[in-house]
Amino acid sequence: MKTLFFVLGLLLSCKPSKVKITETDEPISTEETAVEEVYLEPVGVIPADDCQQIDIGDKACNFRLADQNADTWDLYSHSGDLIILDFSTVWCYPCQMAGYYAQSIQDDYSDDGVQFVTILIDGATSGVEPTESEIDAWVSDHGITSAPILQGSRTKMLDPAGVGIEGYLLGAFPTYIYIGRDMKFIGGHVGFSDEYVRQQIEENL
């Protein structure tokens, strides 16, 4: 089995501190679920029996998060695109540096059906969800015009069980995951290199 991630040599990345994720025992009614489906609420990862986030070739589980325009970005609505997911945090310096390349990559490959998507897992404090003002600052500081910047969180996007169904298994930031046009994983790495990201895009167009 080919594993999904490898670490780019000599590149800096930030390790997350451990955060306790609490679960609720409150039942979710069928009516609430139906509303989420209709209105595409930003609910994070949506577990399903036919998806997991562990190995190359696995089908990605759908997820929905709010973007910088307060719209809900839905992964499965981009089926047919080549998608690069950049999992970053506001507090991570290498993430901040890598963020300056997001818009130029999006601009250079948008006509080829490529989506470069940044998911901010934490804000300025490790383990704390990014605020709308932090999302706005990220967009402004990094010159983002069309590359989606999504408001994530550890609860919505990471898998506390470690089985890759309820969320992603991330060990450091930034982490990049590549999803093919058929919604299956084709690669991933920890750390950023503009040249390497572009090489992966070119090889999978």
For residue 144, how many C-alpha atoms fall within 13 Å in the half-sphere facing its CB? 24
Mean pLDDT computed over 121-141: 97
Q: Give the residue extent of every domain in the chain.
A: 30-204
**7: pLDDT confidence band, cut at 50, 70 and 90?**
low
Query: What pTM did the predictor assign?
Result: 0.84
Which tens digit of pLDDT belongs to each residue from 81-99?
999 999 999 999 999 999 9
Which tens digit of pLDDT belongs to each residue from 166-180?
899 998 999 999 999
pLDDT of residue 90: 98
- Residue 126, number of CB atoms within 10 A of its CB: 19
Q: How far apart are CA 156 and CA 129, in angstroms?
A: 10
Which tens digit of pLDDT belongs to each residue from 16-54?
655 444 444 555 454 555 544 556 888 999 999 999 888
Q: How far apart are CA 172 and CA 27, in angstroms?
A: 33
**59 — phi, psi (to 5°)?**
-80, 135
Class of domain 30-204 as given by CATH: alpha beta
